[in-house]
C-alpha cells in the first residue's frame, strides 16, 4: 500500500490560565465537561450518533511536540472520538529524530488499523509528510501520494489520498512560509481532484493544516471546488488557541454527504489534545 506518485507540478487542552478562543476561563461552570460529575455521567465528550461516519484532521507534530512520544496519547484520543478515518500532518518515517515508522506504530497501537504514509520530502535518513489511518471497517482500496511542487523556493509539500469503499479522504499540509506557495499548492490539489474524482459516487474529503485562515487567498482558491464543512474554530496553538488553520472540506463535484456534527476537540477524558501536539484535532460527522 505504498504507491508514490510524483505529481502535479507533477479538552483537556494544555490549559493556560486563560483560554485562548475568546478570553474565557477554563472552569467547570462554563465547561461542565471538566467536572467530575460530568465525567461520571457521560463517558464520551463528543458522542457519535448512529449511522454516521466520523473523519478527523490532526496535525500531530511528529508525535513529540511536548512529550518524547505522544503516539499512545493520540491513540487514546482517536479511540475516544470513535473515528472512522484520521488524516495526520507532520509525520516522520524512520528519521534520525524519530527512528520509528510512526504511522505504522500508531495503527498497531489502535489495533490492526489500516495505514498510509505519504512522504512529501526526504529528511535525516527517512521521510516526512502526511499520513492516514482508517478503522478495520474501512479498508483502503487504493492510495496515492501527489507532490505539490516547490514554488518560489518553498519546501515540497504533498497530498496523500486513500480510497475506501464509502468515501475518499485526502490530507495535505500547505507551506508555512509564503502565501504564493500555498496558492500554487491549492491549485495543484484542485487540478488533481477535478481530473481524477469529478463525478465519483463517493463523497471526497480534503483535510489538513492549511497554514492560513478561512478568508485567506489559498482557502478561497480551494473553495472554488470545495465546501467548508468544519467550523471556523481556533485550532492552534494549544498553549493559546487563537488561529483556525485546520479544516475539513467536501468536494462539490462528487458524492453528496450530509454533515451532522463538526467540532474542534478541546477537552477529552482519555487523552489530552493540549499535550499530544500544538494543534487540537477537529472532526466532522456525516451521513
Q: Structural domain boundaries of the chain?
A: 4-286
Torsion (CA) 93, 98, 101, 105 in degrees, nearest 10: -140
Contact call for residues 282 and 230 (beta carbons, < 8 A) = yes
Note the pLDDT tens digit of each residue in 134-186.
Answer: 999 999 999 999 999 999 999 999 999 999 999 999 999 999 999 999 999 99
Note the pLDDT tens digit of each residue in 186-237.
Answer: 999 999 999 999 999 999 999 999 999 999 999 999 999 999 999 999 999 9
Note the pLDDT tens digit of each residue in 38-97.
Answer: 444 455 689 999 999 999 999 999 999 999 999 999 999 999 999 999 999 999 999 999
pLDDT at residue 15 is higher than 80: no
The highest-confidence range among 24-33, 51-60, 261-270, by mean pLDDT, is 51-60
Q: Which are the contacts of 111, defined by CB distance < 8 A and separation ≥ 6? A: 136
CA triple 103-105-106, angle to 5 deg: 65
Q: Characterize 153-177 residue by residue with b for buried, 16 or more Cβ atoms within 10 angstroms of its Cβ, and e for exposed.
A: ebebbbbbbbbbeebbbbbbbbbee
Which pairing describes strands 114-123 and 226-228: parallel, antiparallel, or unpaired? unpaired
Consecutive H or E run containing 117: strand 114-123
Confidence at 36, pLDDT banded by 50, 70, 90: low
Using alpha carbons, select from 147, 194, 160 the residue that is nearest to residue 9. 147
Contact call for residues 134 and 113 (beta carbons, < 8 A) = yes
Q: What are phi and psi of 126, to 5 degrees?
A: -140, -140
pLDDT at position 270 = 86
Taking 3-state DSSP, the helix, strand and coil percentages for the chain, each rounded to the nearest 5, stand at 20, 30, 50
C-alpha cell of 38? 460530568
Which pairing describes strands 204-209 and 168-173: parallel, antiparallel, or unpaired? parallel
Place of cell 487540537: 280
Burial (CB < 10 A; 0-12, 13-18, 19+), residue 27, is: exposed
Contact call for residues 212 and 245 (beta carbons, < 8 A) = yes
DSSP 181-204: HHHHHHHHHHHHHHHHHTT-SS-E
Using alpha carbons, select from 250, 242, 254 the residue that is nearest to residue 195. 254
Length of the chain: 287
- What is d(CA 151, CA 132) in angstroms, rounded to the nearest whole number? 25
Contact call for residues 129 and 90 (beta carbons, < 8 A) = no
Q: Which of 15-19, 45-49, 268-272 has the lowest mean pLDDT?
A: 15-19
> Model's pTM, two decimal places?
0.86
Report the top-level CATH class of 4-286. Answer: alpha beta
Using alpha carbons, select from 93, 96, 174, 165 the residue that is nearest to residue 134. 165
Amino acid at each position: 500500500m505504498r504507491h508514490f506518485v510524483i505529481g502535479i507540478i507533477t479538552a483537556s487542552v494544555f490549559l493556560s490560565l486563560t483560554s485562548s478562543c475568546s478570553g474565557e476561563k477554563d472552569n467547570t461552570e462554563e465547561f461542565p465537561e471538566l467536572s467530575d460529575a460530568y465525567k461520571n455521567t457521560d463517558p464520551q465528550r463528543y458522542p457519535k450518533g448512529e449511522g454516521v461516519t466520523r473523519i478527523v484532521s490532526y496535525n500531530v507534530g511528529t508525535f513529540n511536540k511536548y512529550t518524547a512520544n505522544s503516539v499512545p496519547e493520540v491513540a487514546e484520543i482517536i479511540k475516544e472520538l470513535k473515528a472512522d478515518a484520521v488524516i495526520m500532518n507532520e509525520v516522520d518515517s524512520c528519521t534520525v529524530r524519530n527512528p520509528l515508522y510512526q504511522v505504522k506504530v500508531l495503527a498497531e497501537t489502535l489495533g490492526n488499523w489500516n495505514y498510509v504514509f505519504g512522504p512529501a520530502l526526504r529528511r535525516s535518513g527517512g521521510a516526512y509528510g502526511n499520513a492516514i489511518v482508517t478503522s478495520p471497517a474501512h479498508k483502503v482500496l487504493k492510495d496515492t501520494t501527489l507532490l505539490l511542487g516547490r514554488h518560489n523556493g518553498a519546501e515540497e509539500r504533498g497530498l496523500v489520498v486513500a480510497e475506501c469503499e464509502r468515501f475518499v479522504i485526502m490530507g495535505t499540509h500547505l507551506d508555512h512560509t509564503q502565501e504564493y506557495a500555498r496558492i500554487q499548492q491549492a491549485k495543484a490539489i484542485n487540478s488533481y481532484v477535478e481530473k481524477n474524482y469529478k463525478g465519483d459516487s463517493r463523497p471526497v474529503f480534503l483535510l489538513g493544516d492549511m497554514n492560513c485562515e478561512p478568508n485567506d487567498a489559498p482557502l478561497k482558491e480551494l473553495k472554488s471546488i470545495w465546501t467548508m464543512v468544519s467550523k471556523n474554530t481556533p485550532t492552534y496553538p494549544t498553549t493559546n488557541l487563537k488561529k483556525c488553520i485546520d479544516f475539513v472540506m467536501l468536494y462539490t463535484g462528487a458524492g453528496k454527504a450530509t454533515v451532522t456534527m463538526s467540532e474542534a476537540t478541546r477537552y477529552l477524558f482519555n487523552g489530552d489534545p493540549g499535550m499530544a501536539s500544538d494543534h487540537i484535532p477537529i472532526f466532522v460527522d456525516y451521513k
